Amino acid sequence: MRIATWNVNSVLARLPRLVDWLEQTAPDVVCLQETKVGPGAFPAEAVRPLGYQVAEHGEGRWNGVAVLSRVGLADVAAGMAGAPGFPDESTIEARTLAATCGPVRVRSVYVPNGRTPQDPHYAYKLRWLAALADAVAGDAAAAVPFAVLGDFNVAPADDDVWDPAVFAESTHVTPAERAALAGLRAAGLTDVVPTIAKGPHPYTYWDYRAGAFHKGMGMRIDLVYANQAFATAVSGAYVDREARKGKGPSDHAPVVVDLDL
């Protein structure tokens, strides 16, 4: 079984590339982030001929997540209990969606960026990650293979950024953010990609500016955090750098994980 995650940075802007990638890579389940379409506006008709059902949770110009599956789609849950709002508690953003796809359960997540450590968005990010740890605890402990996949906007370690010194005063690498990831691991999840992906630096994101991709100035912030049943079934994983090349790509590359189920 093949499962993937990809921050597409606008599904409408990236639709031809997405369809081509689905045809070539043939994942059974795909978690998408930053779809940037409103409720009911996901272009499901474009992927339906490839056998995919679509569950989507969108809000318009910003955010948005989706799950595409060709092995069934059940128990879909948009959002999560205890999710904080921004800029106030009355505004809950479209940042997570869970679904059962055949023998696995997945949760697509688009974690808040945080902007700067001094910004209110940073405190919101930490609250959001804490709520996520609570929301996944049950699935993490279950016997059903389960994974949280998506754009976490946190690099787990210094090895996951091209130059730690560049990010020393920035978000994505602060002790508090990394402690939040540790909270997910404490809930029973494992970061499955580093132990099995090929290559010393499986970066997943490169800024559009200054030729960052071609210069290797990347970060690993798109992660797959899995429970024991999922992690022990992983037979391979890779970052699809080819999908980051060419004209009009997303600034993220897909992460692909193969399972022996």
3-state secondary structure the chain: CEEEEEECCCCCCCHHHHHHHHHHHCCCEEEEECCCCCCCCCCHHHHHHHCCEEEEECCCCCCCEEEEECCCCEEEEECCCCCCCCCCCCCCCCCEEEEEECCEEEEEEECCCCCCCCCHHHHHHHHHHHHHHHHHHHHHHCCCCEEEEEECCCCCCHHHECCHHHHCCCCCCCHHHHHHHHHHHHCCCEECCCCCCCCCCCCCEECCHHHCCCCCCEECCEEEEECHHHHCCEEEEEECHHHHCCCCCCCECCEEEEECC
What per-residue confidence (pLDDT) applies to 167? 87
Which range (122-136, 182-196, 226-240) has the least confidence?
Answer: 182-196
Task: For residue 198, give both structure tokens.
Answer: 């090929």
- Using a pLDDT cut of 90, give the percent of the chain over it: 93
Q: Does the pLDDT value for residue 202 go beyond 90?
A: no
Rounded-to-integer distance, Cα 188 and Cα 141, Å: 6
Taking only Cα atoms into account, the Rg of the chain, rounded to an integer number of angstroms, comes to: 17
What per-residue confidence (pLDDT) applies to 252? 98
What per-residue confidence (pLDDT) applies to 193? 85
Structure confidence at residue 18 as a pLDDT band (50, 70, 90): very high
What per-residue confidence (pLDDT) applies to 194? 72
What per-residue confidence (pLDDT) applies to 195? 60
Q: What is the mean pLDDT of the chain?
A: 95
pLDDT in tens, 76-91: 999 999 999 999 999 9
What per-residue confidence (pLDDT) applies to 200? 61
Please, what sign has the CA dihedral across residues 192, 32, 137, 232?
A: negative
Structure confidence at residue 196 as a pLDDT band (50, 70, 90): low
Q: Say whether pTM exceeds 0.85.
A: yes
What per-residue confidence (pLDDT) applies to 198? 53
Q: 91 or 169: which carries more pLDDT confidence?
A: 91
What per-residue confidence (pLDDT) applies to 187? 93
Q: What is the mean pLDDT of residues 124-128?
A: 98
Domain 2-259 has CATH 3.40.50.1580: no
What are the domain boundaries of the chain? 2-259
